[in-house]
Structure 1
Amino acid sequence: MAEAVNNSEQFVYDMCSKSFLSLWSYINPQGKTSDKELCDVLVVCDPHVIVISVKDIQLKKTDNPSVDWKRWQRKAIEASIKQIKGAIRWLDQSEYVIQKDGSQGLKLPLQGERIYHRIAVAFGGKREVPISSHAEEDEFFHVLDEQSVFLLLRHLDTISDFANYLINKEAFLFNTSTIINGGEENLLAIYLHNGRQFPSEVGMMILEDDLWEGISNKPEFKAKLQRDTASYVWDRLIQILCQGGFNGEDWLGPDMSESELAIRVLVKENRFSRRMLGGAFNDFLELSKMGQLSSRCVQSISGVGYVFFAYDSDSTLEERKSELCARCYASLCQFQECFTVIGIGVNVPGQKPRHGYSSDLVFLQAQNNQWSEEDVRQAQHYRDKFGFFKNPNKTHCHEDEYPVTENTDNT
């Protein structure tokens, strides 16, 4: 586990690495020199670059609260904003992340495609000092306290969910005068309650301090959290594929490998999509273990096609990868509207393969959202020659993100 300078930084890093996975999260990366810290936490997942500065400043009270607040804001917030600005100036000149130990980290997104998110986390104000997110010269700074950053990273715990919230929040606050009583979790409550978007065409909004308590106590909200446990199968799959599929040179080379491209697609699935995919993958493993199924193709709500394949225990590593690729092509006959297809090959649970364990990834992507004639020809060839997905048993699944339970008050 990477270690921070202090407990506050460690808390935020642990939340980020849990939410966005450790491969994309860096603690105390280096800046201009080896003794210069860039920021406290950096998260990189193309095209997003999240720059986080954490300050733990205990509020000192005198007989003049106004002065106390200003001193705390200067040390806890203004100092973070200054650090974030300097970090982004340096990142604008960089191609790679430099880790805390000086080693090279992930390649940064292309300069013209990067989306920076600036987050200042201020500990120690005890919710006695007013804090607010704001823009400075068209640069938006999200200012959070320890409670709000925990809740945001707990309930928006994928890069897609979190980044979409930050982008939508910026647009909303740029156009709407907003007074937030309590913490930012009350703003999050409005966002979630409104279908993961903020109200439009609203000139001013006052948020009360009980909004988060109200939404988080709803039966359907609690049911969502319970159903989401299936989604973490997908998170564990990503971690396993990362740990078993990459070494430093492959992952950090000048050109992204097929495996890295595939992993990035898996990571960008949001939590609701992961619930569906995690459940489908888990069911597939159980059926393959019982010998009832060797392959399954699934279309995600993101529009990506996935092919799950359980290897024969006698097959060689080359045979496994070749068949997985063939099945991915054959799936195009079923999901022609999927312009990205990811193949995931694993060993049958409980079987000992003759030629060793392996996990494989295959990445297929159409150019300009159009499969070529050669792609279609290969798809038909593998379907007709080997019977892959030629006469599949099709099922359509419906799932509510917030399931309505029997005890839910629908009035």
Structure 2
Amino acid sequence: MPPGLTPSEQLVNKLGAISFLRLWTHPNPVGKGGKELCDCLVVCGPHIIIFSVKEIEYRDTGDAVGWERWQKSAIEKSVKQIWGAERWLQVADGLIRSDGREITLPPKKDRRFHRITVSLGGRGKVPLKWGDLGHGFVHLLDEYSLEATFNELTTVTDFVRYLSAAESLFERGATPVFMGAGAEDLLALYVQNGPDFGLFDPDTGQPALAFIHEGVWLALTKSADYLARNRDLASSYAWDNLIESFAQDLLTDGMFDMFRKEVTQNELALVAMALQPRCHRANLADAFLEFLRPINARIAARLIVADNDTAFVFTTGDSAEREFRGRELMLRCLVVRGRCKSVKTVIGIATDRPKKGRQGHSSDIVYLHIPH
């Protein structure tokens, strides 16, 4: 973690690295004139998530003055930083991390910005302002909703799909009334009901006035169904570990050069892996680990069609014949793209089968994107 971060900034960056993985999480990136751009930036595929963190102790004055002072320091200043960062990011081609590593931004026409202010210190005593605050929708997380959000939305895709659903909720005219509840309770409705949050009439599609009471999130996390779902998803973190393993090669220049002025094909492959939501990661991890079991040694390859019009091809081969293995992997990916009309992107992963006593191990990754 870069030096100079406040405890609250360290927490946000730690949670971000867990959810979005460290390759795409950038603490205190450098912006215009060498100044800090924001407290945390996530760049993965077309998504750019801007975090601004403010921790201001609320002082109760007994009237609205205390509220207004806290909102100005903890929310309004944070939102101002976010909008300034977005203006710069809209025209920049890349940026520099606080540790000096260069980051290439996605093509300008593809960029999708998501704005989050983490405003701490209100302790649930201050009305929280969020929504379209003048220059686009800004999501607000406080001390109660911060960890709940990161604990539930543990991939880039899961995270931004929730943000988009929350924005759509307000754009479509739904008017939830928070009865002592917070953003974590709204998240619970999303988990239970999907993108409509259960706040729209299923027949007419019209929004309904809904009162959201405190404790919905807490009740959800203690429910048997929720706990069972999380147990079913536990294997998915093997997929995260696989991504991190490839990322380690990237960051140490063991697989390809991170400091090139263009995004490499291998980096795009990792982005495609990281854009898989949690439920698909469970399927991918289970399939990959099952494929590598000795009992399946006679199976030459395994195909899994996943999210985002993406398919994954797993195959094995000896490291001593790595060039041949790489050509075979590419050919298998081309065959999959040709046969699966709904698939636009194919990721191939080749590795050695586990063997006792063997010295040396290598993995190869292929990225194939043919949109038409």
What TM-score results when the alignment is normalised by the length of structure 2?
0.90
TM superposition shift of 1:332:
4.9
**Residue aligning to 1:380:** none
DSSP 3-state at the match of 1:350: coil
Label 1:8 to 1:134 Cα distance change in 2 as closer, same or farther (>3 A).
Answer: same
Q: Which range is displaced more, 149-158 or 245-254?
A: 245-254
2:184 and 2:238 mapped to 1: Cα distance?
Answer: 27
**Residue aligning to 2:203:** none
**Residue aligning to 2:310:** 304
TM superposition shift of 1:320:
2.0
TM superposition shift of 1:216:
2.0
Label 1:291 to 1:119 Cα distance change in 2 as closer, same or farther (>3 A).
Answer: same
TM superposition shift of 1:365:
2.6
Deviations 1:334-368 (A, max 9, x none): 645433221101122235667x5321111223341
- Following superposition, which runs of at least 4 residues in structure 1 exceed 4 angstroms of deviation? 245-249, 351-354
2:368 corresponds to 1:364:
yes
**Residue aligning to 1:217:** 222
Which residue identity lines up with residue 122 of structure 1 in the other structure?
S
Aligned match for 2:133, one of 128, 131, 136: 136
1:227 and 1:237 mapped to 2: Cα distance?
Answer: 19
**Residue aligning to 2:118:** 121
TM superposition shift of 1:331:
3.8
Higher radius of gyration, 1 or 2: 1
TM superposition shift of 1:254:
4.1
Whether the aligned pair in 2 keeps the contact of 1:107 and 1:252 (CA below 8 Å) is: no
Q: How does 1:108-257 map to 2 (within 5 A)?
A: 108-174=105-171, 175-181=173-179, 182-198=181-197, 199-200=199-200, 201-245=206-250, 250-257=257-264
Structure 2's unaligned 5+ residue stretches are: 201-205
Which residue identity lines up with residue 24 of structure 1 in the other structure?
W
Deviations 1:98-132 (A, max 9, x none): 2114x243211222221111111111111111113
**Residue aligning to 2:11:** 11
DSSP 3-state at the match of 1:112: helix
Deviations 1:3-46 (A, max 9, x none): 45211000000001110011111111112223x21110111112
Aligned match for 1:323, one of 318, 325, 328: 328
**Residue aligning to 1:295:** 301
Label 1:326 to 1:352 Cα distance change in 2 as closer, same or farther (>3 A).
Answer: farther
DSSP 3-state at the match of 2:144: helix
Which residue identity lines up with residue 86 of structure 1 in the other structure?
G
Whether the aligned pair in 1 keeps the contact of 2:83 and 2:135 (CA below 8 Å) is: no
DSSP 3-state at the match of 1:81: helix
2:246 and 2:23 mapped to 1: Cα distance?
Answer: 11
Q: How does 1:44-123 map to 2 (within 5 A)?
A: 44-62=43-61, 64-101=62-99, 103-123=100-120
Whether the aligned pair in 1 keeps the contact of 2:52 and 2:116 (CA below 8 Å) is: yes
TM superposition shift of 1:301:
4.8
DSSP 3-state at the match of 1:256: coil
1:250 and 1:292 mapped to 2: Cα distance?
Answer: 35
2:337 and 2:174 mapped to 1: Cα distance?
Answer: 45
2:154 and 2:350 mapped to 1: Cα distance?
Answer: 26
DSSP 3-state at the match of 1:228: helix
Identity, in percent, stands at 35
Which residue identity lines up with residue 271 of structure 2 in the other structure?
R
Label 1:91 to 1:338 Cα distance change in 2 as closer, same or farther (>3 A).
Answer: closer
DSSP 3-state at the match of 1:85: helix
DSSP 3-state at the match of 2:236: helix
TM superposition shift of 1:231:
0.5
Whether the aligned pair in 1 keeps the contact of 2:31 and 2:88 (CA below 8 Å) is: yes
DSSP 3-state at the match of 1:117: strand
Which residue identity lines up with residue 192 of structure 1 in the other structure?
V
Q: Which range is displaced more, 245-254 or 163-172?
A: 245-254
1:352 and 1:297 mapped to 2: Cα distance?
Answer: 29
2:119 and 2:158 mapped to 1: Cα distance?
Answer: 22
Whether the aligned pair in 1 keeps the contact of 2:31 and 2:95 (CA below 8 Å) is: no
Whether the aligned pair in 1 keeps the contact of 2:43 and 2:49 (CA below 8 Å) is: yes
Label 1:90 to 1:9 Cα distance change in 2 as closer, same or farther (>3 A).
Answer: same
TM superposition shift of 1:292:
4.5
Whether the aligned pair in 1 keeps the contact of 2:104 and 2:263 (CA below 8 Å) is: no
DSSP 3-state at the match of 1:109: coil
Whether the aligned pair in 2 keeps the contact of 1:307 and 1:341 (CA below 8 Å) is: yes
DSSP 3-state at the match of 2:91: coil
Label 1:158 to 1:126 Cα distance change in 2 as closer, same or farther (>3 A).
Answer: same
DSSP 3-state at the match of 1:338: coil
Q: Which range is displaced more, 255-264 or 327-336?
A: 327-336
Aligned length: 362
1:149 and 1:4 mapped to 2: Cα distance?
Answer: 21
Label 1:177 to 1:336 Cα distance change in 2 as closer, same or farther (>3 A).
Answer: closer
Deviations 1:248-290 (A, max 9, x none): 77345344322122111111110011111111111122237x7
**Residue aligning to 1:394:** none
Root-mean-square deviation (CA), in Å?
A: 2.2
DSSP 3-state at the match of 1:33: helix
Which residue identity lines up with residue 127 of structure 1 in the other structure?
G
Which residue identity lines up with residue 41 of structure 1 in the other structure?
C
Which residue identity lines up with residue 155 of structure 1 in the other structure?
E
Whether the aligned pair in 1 keeps the contact of 2:317 and 2:325 (CA below 8 Å) is: yes
1:187 and 1:296 mapped to 2: Cα distance?
Answer: 39
TM superposition shift of 1:203:
4.6
**Residue aligning to 1:397:** none
